[in-house]
């Protein structure tokens, strides 16, 4: 037939089979290639799975070894997982299933709830952070201060877990507090403080140092404390000073230093050696206290213990000491001395009429006149009120005693100006002589006192001697 090719029946079947086999081969090849791709994809998935497992294990190891506290809670705050560091709060079985809020101190629960709310309501993952105070079940650390960070773990947009990371900053806060406290003490201390390096170069001084020495910090930093040296301490003193610092780590004692204005002053110095963990010396800290006022106060107290505050004369205590000393010296030297007991006549009306201030003026003036009328070797003392006593070494004759008493009566009797007025005061004197009228202090003073009253009965402005002395006559005299 025209336009058609003729095929033999056997050839047609062979060609069809060939085409079919060819298609099978192509399909098989595609299957093989697809299988290869699947194998490679599976291998990739297996490797990824291994990497994820490895990463998870590594993360678990990191969390397990972390010093930070890691706690996972559900959205309601129930603890579902913790790392070993969290057991600083309490044992694991105590914490699991509890609300994390129960471990927060009440004063910080508001911050905790706000932090939880911020994290729960955030649309995207965001790390929120606040400082919290936690309760601990261990008595050694009842409070733990942490910086709390929270990460919200979401799946398909829904919050599944809260991952809390609590970094313990207790030691840091305590160190900061101690540092602030030390700084406050350093600045506000009433004692001067000097910090030097191991060579003695001044690194810092506090304001009290400036008040005590007169040197500002700018004038002394970088210099040696030797600039305060008064020159009073010897070389041996400093040898012992450095020996104690090296061997004992501390030295304290009284020293004399020099202020910027050149004034030498006493101070109590306490120097401490500061060492590092390796035992090496890092610096020296010196604390100095100005003893000037203290010593002045002690001197004033000692003065007041022995002298009358109004007249500045020796008081009863010092008079007793001097009388005992006078008796002892007189016994050793075989000498005599006179004791005069003085009492002002009609002094009470002065206080009653013109007031105690006027009376004080009179007493001070009388004391001055008594002191200026006797010898330097004599002692004038005030026993109290308007009573005075005079110890006159070597004075023993009636004539000598009479002349002295007359001189004193005349001095006391001169007008005393008081607030625009001139007051006239007289005094009565009782005299006793050692050893004729008494060989001990108590007897001698009593007899001089008794004799003074005899003189006062004579009308005032008189003196009387307790009894006649060898080769002497009458013992009652007057101011005429």
Angstrom distances, CA of residue 110 to CA of 103, 104, 177, 198, 339? 13, 10, 24, 50, 87
Which of 106-120, 337-351, 417-431 has the weakest average pLDDT? 106-120
Give the predicted TM-score (pTM) of the model: 0.50
Note whether 90 and 214 are same-domain residues: no
In-domain check, residue 48: no
Answer whether residue 397 is part of any domain.
yes
In a domain, 5, yes or no: no
Shared domain for 466 and 317, answered yes or no, is yes
Give, as one character, the DSSP assignment of residue 475: -
What is the percentage of the chain residues whose pLDDT exceeds 70?
90
What distance in Å separates the CA atoms of residue 60 and residue 82, rounded to the nearest whole number? 11
Tell me which residue range forms the domain holding 450.
307-477
Mean pLDDT of 269-284: 88
Residue 429 Cα distances to 304, 356, 436, 449, 454, angstroms: 27, 24, 18, 9, 9
Q: For a pLDDT cut of 90, what percent of the chain falls above it?
A: 39
> Collapsing DSSP states into helix, strand and coil, what is residue 105?
coil
According to the model, what pLDDT value does residue 27 have?
A: 77
State pLDDT tens for residues 331-346. 999 999 999 999 999 8
Q: At what angle do helices 316-333 and 441-457 cross, to 10 degrees?
A: 110
For the chain, what is the domain count?
Answer: 3
Cα radius of gyration (the chain):
52
Q: In this predicted structure, which of 111-115, 178-182, 310-314 has the lowest mean pLDDT?
A: 178-182
Residue 146 falls inside a structural domain: yes
Give pLDDT, residue 55: 64
Confidence band, pLDDT 50/70/90 cuts, at residue 89: confident
Tell me: do 321 and 468 sit in the same domain. Answer: yes
Residue 20 lies inside a defined structural domain of this protein: no
Domain at 249, CATH number: 3.30.450.20
The answer to whether residue 156 is domain-embedded is yes
Q: Which of 308, 343, 386, 449 is the catalytic position?
A: 386
Active-site annotation holds for 440: no
């Amino acid at each position: 037939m025209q336009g058609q090719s003729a095929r033999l029946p056997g050839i047609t079947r062979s060609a069809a089979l060939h085409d079919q086999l060819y298609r099978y081969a192509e399909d098989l090849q595609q299957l093989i290639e697809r299988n290869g791709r699947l194998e490679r994809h599976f291998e990739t998935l297996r490797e990824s799975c291994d990497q994820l497992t490895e990463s998870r294990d590594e993360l678990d190891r990191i969390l397990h070894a972390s010093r930070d506290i890691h706690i996972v809670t559900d959205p309601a705050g129930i603890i579902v997982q913790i790392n070993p560091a969290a057991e600083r709060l309490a044992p694991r079985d105590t914490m699991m299933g509890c609300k994390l809020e129960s471990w927060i101190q009440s004063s910080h629960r508001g911050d905790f709830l706000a932090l939880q709310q911020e994290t729960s309501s955030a649309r995207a993952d965001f790390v929120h952070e606040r400082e919290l105070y936690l309760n601990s079940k261990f008595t050694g650390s009842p409070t733990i201060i942490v910086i709390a960070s929270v990460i919200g773990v979401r799946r398909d947009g829904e919050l599944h877990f809260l991952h809390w990371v609590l970094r313990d900053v207790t030691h840091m806060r305590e160190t900061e507090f101690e540092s602030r406290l030390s700084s406050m003490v350093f600045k506000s201390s009433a004692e001067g403080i000097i910090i030097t390096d191991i060579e003695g170069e001044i690194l810092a001084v506090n304001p009290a140092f400036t008040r005590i020495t007169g040197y500002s910090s700018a004038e002394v930093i970088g210099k040696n404390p030797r600039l305060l040296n008064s020159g009073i301490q010897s070389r041996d003193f400093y040898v012992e000073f450095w020996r104690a610092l090296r061997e004992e780590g501390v030295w304290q004692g009284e020293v004399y230093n020099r202020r910027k204005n050149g004034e030498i002053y006493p101070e109590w110095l306490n120097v401490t050696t500061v060492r590092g963990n390796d035992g090496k010396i890092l610096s020296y800290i010196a604390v100095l206290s100005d003893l000037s006022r203290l010593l002045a106060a002690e001197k004033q107290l000692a003065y007041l213990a022995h002298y009358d505050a109004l007249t500045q004369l020796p008081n009863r205590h010092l008079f007793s000491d001097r009388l005992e000393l006078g008796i002892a010296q007189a016994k050793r030297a075989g000498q005599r001395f006179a004791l005069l007991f003085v009492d002002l006549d009609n002094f009470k009306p002065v206080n009653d009429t013109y007031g105690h201030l006027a009376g004080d003026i009179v007493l001070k003036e009388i004391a001055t006149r008594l002191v200026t009328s006797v010898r330097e070797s004599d002692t004038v003392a005030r026993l109290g009120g308007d009573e005075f006593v005079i110890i006159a070494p070597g004075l023993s004759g009636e004539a000598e005693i009479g002349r002295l008493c007359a001189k004193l009566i005349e001095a006391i009797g001169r007008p005393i100006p008081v607030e625009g007025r001139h007051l006239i005061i007289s005094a009565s004197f009782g005299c006793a002589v050692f050893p004729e009228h008494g060989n001990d202090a108590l007897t001698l003073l009593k007899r001089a006192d008794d004799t003074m009253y005899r003189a006062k009965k004579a009308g005032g402005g008189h003196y009387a001697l307790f009894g006649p002395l060898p080769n002497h006559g009458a013992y009652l005299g007057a101011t005429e």
